[in-house]
Amino acid sequence: MGELLRLRGVKKTYASSEQVQVQALRGIDLRVLEGEYLAIMGPSGSGKSTLMHIIGCLDVSTAGTYEIDGVNTAEMNEKALAKIRNQKIGFVFQQFNLLPTLSALRNVEVPLLYAGVPASQRKERARQALERVGLADRAEHRPGQLSGGQQQRVAVARALVTNPSLILADEPTGALDSVSTADLLDLFDELHEAGRTLVVITHEADVAARAQRTVHLYDGLIRSVTTGVAA
């Protein structure tokens, strides 16, 4: 397996006022291999959301380097970062972030629309992605007609549709009941077994336990790394 992500000495400082600076990350060294399933845990204020934003190219570090597929993101302009977000990273969020007026199929098509994929290809690829998550029969349903677990599966299909290098999930089970959580984690297991790279940010130990490795953040630093059931 090759190296997909590499962070070296990554720091992130926010200015909360003219005199006060907050160090959200204080020097993160982390590598993620292709096909790896990694969880990131930490209490509130530990820096895990900041780390997620940097890994997802939604923010840039104050110091250090972050490479994805061997390319240093610090050398990219906003247009290049947007292309990385669209083509190399599939995002899954706690609140699903689906467009309520669109069908499941149309929601899954959205990243392909931004990527300039022709309409005929968009629909076919979106249908395949919905089939992959077991929701082909719900393609024409709007989010409001789906359960929370089904909405999150649509969000996973949307993340998969561009065939990204990385699935990045931020508290993906936070809005789900226990049954839907188990179903989603089973789906993540299947994606991992199929060779997908997954990075899951979570505060739930049972969610992290499904990953191969769990990175524990405290006060902007990696304090420990543990192995899970998938190791």
Range scoring the smallest mean pLDDT among 4-13, 43-52, 129-138: 43-52
Q: What is the pLDDT of residues 134-168, one digit of tens each?
A: 999 999 999 999 999 999 999 999 999 999 999 99
At residue 230, the pLDDT reads 55
Q: What is the pLDDT of residues 106-129, one digit of tens each?
A: 999 999 998 899 998 999 999 999
At residue 22, the pLDDT reads 86
Question: What is the separation, in whole angstroms, between the first and last Cα of the chain?
Answer: 15
At residue 157, the pLDDT reads 97
pTM as predicted:
0.93
Angle at the Cα of 186 from the Cα atoms of 142 and 155, rounded to 5 degrees: 25
User: Is the pLDDT score of 231 beyond 60?
Assistant: no
Average pLDDT over all residues of the chain? 93
At residue 45, the pLDDT reads 87
The mean pLDDT value for 74-90 works out to 91
Biggest alpha carbon distance in the chain? 56
Contact yes or no for 175/95 (Cβ under 8 A): yes
% of the chain exceeding 90 in pLDDT: 82
At residue 88, the pLDDT reads 92
- Quickly list H helices, the chain: 48-55, 78-87, 104-114, 119-132, 148-160, 178-193, 205-208
At residue 66, the pLDDT reads 97
The conformation of residue 17, written as its DSSP 8-state character, comes to: S
User: Is the pLDDT score of 80 beyond 60?
Assistant: yes
Q: What is the pLDDT of residues 9-32, one digit of tens each?
A: 999 998 877 778 889 999 999 999
At residue 229, the pLDDT reads 61
Contact yes or no for 64/27 (Cβ under 8 A): yes
The pairs formed by 114-120 with CB atoms below 8 angstroms and a separation of 24 or more are: 114/86, 115/86, 115/87, 115/162
